[in-house]
Structure 1
Amino acid sequence: MLILKDEDFVGKGNERACYVHPEDRNKAIKITYEGNNRKISKQTQLETKYYQELIKRGMNDWKHLPEYFGEVETNKGKGFVVELVRDYDGEVSKTFAYYLEKDGVKAYQKELEEYREYFVKNSIIFNYGMMPKNILLRKNSESDCDLVLIDGLGDVSHFTLPNKIPYFARRRINRRWMKFVRKYLLKY
């Protein structure tokens, strides 16, 4: 069992908290935290299942997703291990929301288009949890960066069979992308 300490805390959302892995500073552990009104995180179940599906499909391009390393027991409960997204200087990457507030959406048109194309090309479904605060902007250098989805992976729809067919998956991705743009990006 891994021991997660308060000093390793990175952040938390509505259901889960994220900690730096105690044995590997380049990995993070996501756990369902106590007091989140749910004993079991539906998002964790969805996300781990989807990560396993991506691996089964032969996914090896983790440019816009943190790489998945499996599940683990911790002193704070069961969690799953992913890459900890860091900038070129070693700092944990900041949210896309931070950079949108600072620079506006026009500064990131190239990155947004590359990000959208990644999901379409790889038929990777994201849900309505994909919002600027759940996307990190990883700085690869002073002039190069990537967007990385850290929450909102997988499909919350009840009818997911069409996701197995690339044509229908791409349609769903494009529809959700347009909702993402309308809901979150137009205000910048």
Structure 2
Amino acid sequence: MSDKHSQKMIELGERKPFAEGGSRLCFEHPENPHRCIKIVKQGRIEELRQRAPVFKRLRPDRAFDDNEREIDAYQQRAIKLGDERLWLHLPRQYGYSKTSMGPGLVTDLIRNSDGIADNLENYIKRHGMTDALSKALDEFCDWLRDTQVLTKNLLPHNVLVKAHDDGRLQLYVIDGIGCTTAIDPNWLGQRFVHRYIESRIAKMRARVAWEAGGRKGEWKKIEKQHRKWM
């Protein structure tokens, strides 16, 4: 892992982020168009600390830092012990770089031939559920089963759609890696890992169907049907 303070400064002040989440800004690396720099928003860590229950407020900053949590999530068993198949649907991490906006986590930047790949939510809004997307979704779900990468809820805005020149689509999960439960399913055995992953897949498919169907009905009610996995 790169040290946060040992490198030359990367200037981001004049650049606009190409994407923004609740906690982070995403920039194209000024020296490498195939790398992304994720910056935690100024003041966000303290904001999350103040929102947390009183008994959690004494936790260190890293407990409220999405970059640190993403790094921790990449330490899971499936990623540490995995092979090249991992990177078919998951960006590589390259550690921290020092920037003018603070430490930035560097990862692969998923691109099409004509620019940065858009997220699944926007793709569905524009195109609906196409045959190419249905096939890409099947391939992504099979990859989850094969690699056993643990994820949280796979929300469409956290999944990118890479469009190849031959018309093929490829999905990449860019956020939400990790486990939603207090107990890692790996500690409980393969049966529980399988059930956990299938629950994430079922919820993702339900969310995609909801998005493609015009968001009819309340998502929270639909989501409740997929909460239990143990």
- TM class, shorter-length: 0.7 to 0.9
70-79 or 148-157: bigger deviation: 70-79
1:78 matched to 2:86? The reply is no
After TM superposition, the score normalised by the length of structure 2 is 0.72
> How many Å apart are 1:172 and its aligned residue?
0.4
Query: Which 4+ residue blocks in structure 1 deviate beyond 6 angstroms?
Result: none
Instruction: Give the alignment partner of residue 88 of structure 1, picking from 89, 110, 113.
Output: 113
Aligned to 1:173: 197
Write the distance in 2 (CA, Å) between the matches of 1:179 and 1:163: 23
Answer yes or no: is the 8 Å Cα contact 1:8–1:22 preserved in 2: no
> How many Å apart are 1:43 and its aligned residue?
3.4
Aligned residues: 186
> How many Å apart are 1:70 and its aligned residue?
1.5
1:32 matched to 2:32? The reply is no
Write the distance in 2 (CA, Å) between the matches of 1:59 and 1:70: 19
Aligned to 1:126: 151
Answer yes or no: is the 8 Å Cα contact 1:125–1:163 preserved in 2: no
> How many Å apart are 1:110 and its aligned residue?
0.8
Aligned to 2:10: 2
Write the distance in 2 (CA, Å) between the matches of 1:2 and 1:167: 46
Give ranges in structure 2 of 5+ residues lacking alignment.
Answer: 1-8, 49-60, 213-230
Aligned to 1:147: 171
What percent of counterpart residues are identical? 26
Aligned to 1:17: 25
Write the distance in 1 (CA, Å) between the matches of 2:151 and 2:73: 10
Change (3 A) 1:134 1:109: same
Answer yes or no: is the 8 Å Cα contact 2:24–2:39 preserved in 1: yes
Aligned to 1:115: 140
Write the distance in 2 (CA, Å) between the matches of 1:46 and 1:18: 16
Q: Which has the larger radius of gyration?
A: 2
Aligned to 1:48: 71
CA RMSD of aligned residues (A): 2.2
Write the distance in 1 (CA, Å) between the matches of 2:187 and 2:116: 32
